[in-house]
Amino acid sequence: MLYGVGIGPGDPELMTLKAARILAAARVIAFFAKRGHQGHARRIATAHVRDGAEEIRLEYPVTTELPVEDPRYLAQMADFYADSAALIARRLDQGLDVAVLCEGDPFFYGSFMYLYDRLRPAYQSEIVPGITGMGGCWTRAGLPMTHGDDVLTILPGTLAEADLVTGLERADAAVIMKIGRNLPKVRAALAQAGLSERAIYVERGTMADERILPLKDMKDRPAPYFSIILVPGRQGRR
């Protein structure tokens, strides 16, 4: 069985009982990590990984060094996902279950989906949903996000500035993911949409080194990849 296990936004207590049970039993786990880093998912899952489990570390060949639309990025990532799927398939072919650790929810902007697309035609799979990063972040920020018929718009910060503005102008409440190097562009788009005052910045939400502050108070220093911007909806409307 291929398991895609959502392990939540960072705080290890924000993991489902089902995820913890599957991890405690898994003889083989796999997880994505940036070169030279432990990997967020692996760190979050530490307390739940079975002693002696085999660990398949899937190290991204490239992360933020190249823009996502760069053909070199696309080619390298396609090879990487094909090789990663092949590594996991080898274990599945031996009759072993493999649990892939997924930060947040596996089907929400997760790298796991690229493995799942390749493996699901040939193997049995089970997905365990997880609390998303945005859910963890808006909870920690104390931000009720949507009331009544508010429309929530989720935008990747990798979009072009004009597309961000269009999305934000239509939104009642908004979440902007994948901030990192996109911060100056996202900030400009929020200003154009008239939302700068309402925007809250959350870095590594629910993790030990979390930071939460109004975006307007965030001085121009780089944002890490694990940061998000939240614009709550029309608060208090019935």
Ligand X SMILES: C[S@@+](CC[C@H](N)C(=O)[O-])C[C@H]1O[C@@H](n2cnc3c(N)ncnc32)[C@H](O)[C@@H]1O
Residue 4's nearest CA partner among 122, 114, 121 is 114
- Tokens representing 208? 């030990």
Q: Does 158 bind ligand X (CB under 6 A)?
A: no
Binding status of residue 232 toward ligand X by CB under 6 A: no
For residue 142, what are the contacts with CB-CB under 8 A and spacing of at least 6? none
What is the pairing mode between strands 2-6 and 125-128? parallel
x/- binding map, residues 8-47, to ligand X, per CB under 6 A? -xx-------------------------------------
Which tokens in the block code for residue 165? 């503005």
Note whether 177 binds ligand X by CB under 6 A.
Answer: yes
Rank residues 9 and 233 by Cβ distance to ligand X and give the closer one: 9
Find the shortest distance in angstroms from Cβ 230 to ligand X: 10
State which of residues 133, 167, 232, 233 lies at the interface with ligand X (CB under 6 A): 133
Binder to ligand X among 4, 110, 232, 233 (CB under 6 A)? 110
Residue 228 touches ligand X, criterion: CB under 6 A: yes
Query: Quick check: 233 binds ligand X (CB under 6 A)?
Result: no
The dihedral region occupied by 11, where left means phi > 0, alpha psi between -120 and 50, and beta the remainder, is beta
Q: With CA atoms as reference, report the closest residue to 207 among 15, 73, 52, 40.
A: 40
Contact call for residue 187 and ligand X (CB under 6 A): no
- Which of 42, 178, 187, 198 binds ligand X (CB under 6 A)? It is 178
Check if the beta carbon of residue 60 is closer than 8 Å to that of residue 32: yes
Residue from 4, 39, 104, 167 touching ligand X (CB under 6 A): that is: 104
CA–CA dist 126, 107 (Å, integer): 12
Give the type of residue at 81.
Y
Rg of the chain (C-alpha set): 19
Q: Which of these segments, 26-34, 49-57, 82-90, 176-184, binds ligand X (CB under 6 A)?
A: 176-184
User: What are 202's strand-pairing partners?
Assistant: 212, 228
Does 204 bind ligand X (CB under 6 A)? Our answer is yes
Residues that bind ligand X (CB under 6 A): 9-10, 103-105, 108-110, 132-134, 136-137, 177-179, 202, 204-206, 225-228
